[in-house]
Amino acid sequence: MSLFRKKNIDDILKNSEAENPHGSLAKHLGVRDLTAFGIAAIIGAGIFSTIGKASADGGPGVIFLFIFTALACSFAAFAYAEFASLIPVSGSAYTYSYVAFGELFAWIIGWALIMEYAIGNVTVAISWSDYFTSLVENVSDYKVVEWLRLDYFTARHNHEQVMALLISGVPLEKISANPQTAGYMEGFLAIGSAPKIFGTPIVFDFPALIINVLITMLVYRGIKESRNASNAMVIVKIVVVLLVIFVGAFYIDVKNWDPFMPNGVKGLLKGISAVFFAYIGFDAISTTAEECRNPQKDLPRGILYSIIICTVLYVAIALVITGMVSYTELNVGDPLAFVFEKVKSLHWLSGIIAVSAVVAMASVMLVFQLGQPRIWMSMSRDGLLPPAFARIHPKFKTPSFSTIITGLLVAVPIFFVDINMVTDICSAGTLFAFCLVCGGVLKLRMDPNAPPSKFKTPFINSKYIIGSLFVLSFVLLLIYNKPVLDYYMKWESFEAFLTKIPVYLFVLGFALFAVLAFKHNFSLIPSLGLLCCFYMLSQLGYKNWLYFSAWLVIGLIIYFVYGRSHSKLAPLKQ
């Protein structure tokens, strides 16, 4: 079928080596640069922001979630590394899916990756703004007014919460003094003090908008400049993270680790989107393949090195912050700075953390802003997007038009998007992409004509292992988690039924995959990557599935209106 027409690997490599009519990218990256890009992408909003919410939900036991997520990402990273070695071009998961599954799936992945890179940067920009405004207030007498530091919908929600408390008789002083409600005051003040146009308060996150403009300008300027900036920022934040771990270890009170998992597995899983969001970005390394000096060897190393380094740091940081203060206090936007502000003798360190967080999250934005334009460039080369997206700047050797559009795509949602919603939707898109990349490796392994890869994931036959894991998981659920099983078997309402659909789909998918693994002798590591990512996807909640599905529908409309008829493979028949 024409919808599933595939690209030939040899043709892709020939086209990437041939002179491109839109221009070619400059090759400046080595394994150290790629590892630094990976660390730059991973250590950012996760370690300086979302780790607080995840710890508040899961307690000190959140380290298990970090380890599980790291394993899932590592399994997926092996698949990315194998593909990157086999097809060293800028398309990343988009190109890999084009080869393994065909054009329709490639488009879906390309569209989903917009959520990871461009939309995900909205979250990073907002987190950067939180730290930046705190830093400004701590080091100067200037204060960024509330209506210039929040998005509109968050401010409105906070305002409604405060108004409800006031109506119920709670004084404003108690609302601002209570740690559980004090966070609402910023939005309340923003709505109250904001200028109005036709009665509508004008509230937007001005610092987030500015950092987006600056990062877009840097990425537009060139890969060499972006590399140098990324390497410098990575050194700064690694030094600070190690300092936090070393100093904080002396102020750990082990009583704060008891109970270790206060809300059980259910509470732990509440933080799954926040923890997974902390890891996304390593795959952005693969979008720089055409700018690597030796992509077949350096890309796999850069991907795997960055995940290993960051996992060790995440676990150590989680143990330190949950040991210094009670997990119940960590649901704040700047948890690292917060825990050191609690210790009077360490106030100086909270300022250093704020500075490093500003640097760290800027580096995440840098890597994401690098990734998205290169995906669009690859899609445009294939005819699925207009030719302008493949345009290379004659002087800077960057995908200029795609970079500008990416900056705009980040800038517009900053005005009105809630950070929590963006985190969850972004995680859904990324997990979907990871599932297809792992599945793509399995598909290629079944093709006897597929060319050999310079990096190949170690083969372990999963024929009996996957089926055994399915049976074992179901038995353990019956024995140890009867309340959970009862929860999923009861249908109290239609909405309750909807909340359980993702889990039902995972169980059915797991069973089907076990049969296929037995039949086709699937390789274990990509199989575990697919299952782990699918499981995390099932835990994001049905609303995120609906949002993601709506996003895909919009993408499919664009594909059938433009991409399918303009595809470079349109004349081919399979």
Residues 256 and 364 in one domain: yes
The Cα-based distances of 310 to 278, 307, 458 in angstroms read: 10, 5, 23
2, part of any domain: no
Q: Of 396, 413, 443, which residue sits at a domain end?
A: 443
Is residue 219 within 8 Å of 398, Cβ to Cβ?
A: yes
- Whether residue 387 is contained in a domain is answered as yes
Give the closest residue to 54 by CA, choosing from 251, 278, 259: 278
pLDDT of residue 492: 58
Question: How much of the chain is in helix, strand and coil states, percent to nearest 5?
Answer: 75, 0, 20
Reduce the DSSP state of residue 196 to 3 states and report it.
strand
Answer yes or no: is 355 within a domain.
Answer: yes
How far is it, in rounded angstroms, from Cα 42 to Cα 448? 36
Q: Is residue 454 part of a domain?
A: no
Give residue 465's pLDDT.
Answer: 92
**Does one domain contain both 323 and 401?**
yes
Q: Is 354 within the bounds of a domain? A: yes
Pair 222, 134 in one domain: yes
Look up the domain containing 174 and give its range.
152-203
Based on the fold, state whether residues 389 and 312 are members of the same structural domain: yes
For residue 574, what pLDDT is reported?
Answer: 41
User: Is residue 311 included in any domain, yes or no?
Assistant: yes
Q: Which residues pair with 392 in a beta bridge?
A: 399
- Do 499 and 423 sit in the same domain of this protein? no
The structural domain count of the chain equals 3
Give dist(CA 229, CA 36) in Å, integer: 10
Identify the pLDDT of residue 572. Answer: 46
Q: How many angstroms separate the most distant Cα atoms in the chain?
A: 73
Query: Cα 80 to the chain's mean position, in Å?
Result: 15
* Mean pLDDT, the chain, integer: 80
Domain end marker among 443, 469, 495: 443
119 and 182 fall within a common domain: no
Q: Are 353 and 244 in contact (CB under 8 A)?
A: yes
**pLDDT, tens digit, for every residue of 188-241?**
888 888 888 888 888 888 898 999 999 999 888 877 777 788 788 888 888 888
Low-confidence ranges of the chain (pLDDT < 50): 19, 572-574
Q: Is 353 helix (H, G, I), strand (E, B) or coil?
A: helix
Closest by CA to 369, choosing from 267, 243, 222, 219, is 219
For residue 254, being part of any structural domain is answered with: yes
Same structural domain for residues 412 and 263? yes
CATH number for the domain spanning 306: value is: 1.20.1740.10
Do 159 and 221 share a structural domain?
no
Three-state secondary structure along 433-472?
A: HHHHHHHHHHHHHCCCCCCCCCCCCCCCECCCHHHHHHHH
Mark which of 187, 203, 219 sits at the end of a domain: 203
User: Among candidates 44, 41, 122, which has minimal Cα distance to 357?
Assistant: 44
pLDDT at 573: 41
**Does 470 share its domain with 536?**
yes
One domain for residues 361 and 434: yes
Radius of gyration of the chain (CA): 24
Query: Does 419 lie in the same domain as 489?
Result: no
Closest by CA position to 364, among listed 20, 41, 2, 13: 41
- The reported pLDDT for the residue numbered 466 is 92
Shared-domain flag, residues 275 and 336:
yes
Task: State the Cα–Cα distance between residues 244 and 242, nearest whole angstrom.
Answer: 5
Check the CA dihedral 276-279-284-289 and report its sign. Answer: negative
CB distance 530 to 438 below 8 Å: yes
pLDDT tens by residue, 259-318: 888 877 777 777 776 677 677 777 777 777 777 777 777 888 888 888 888 888 888 888
* Residue 336 and residue 48 in contact, taking contact as beta carbons nearer than 8 Å: yes
The pLDDT score that the predictor gives to residue 19 is 45
In a domain, 8, yes or no: no
pLDDT at site 419 = 64
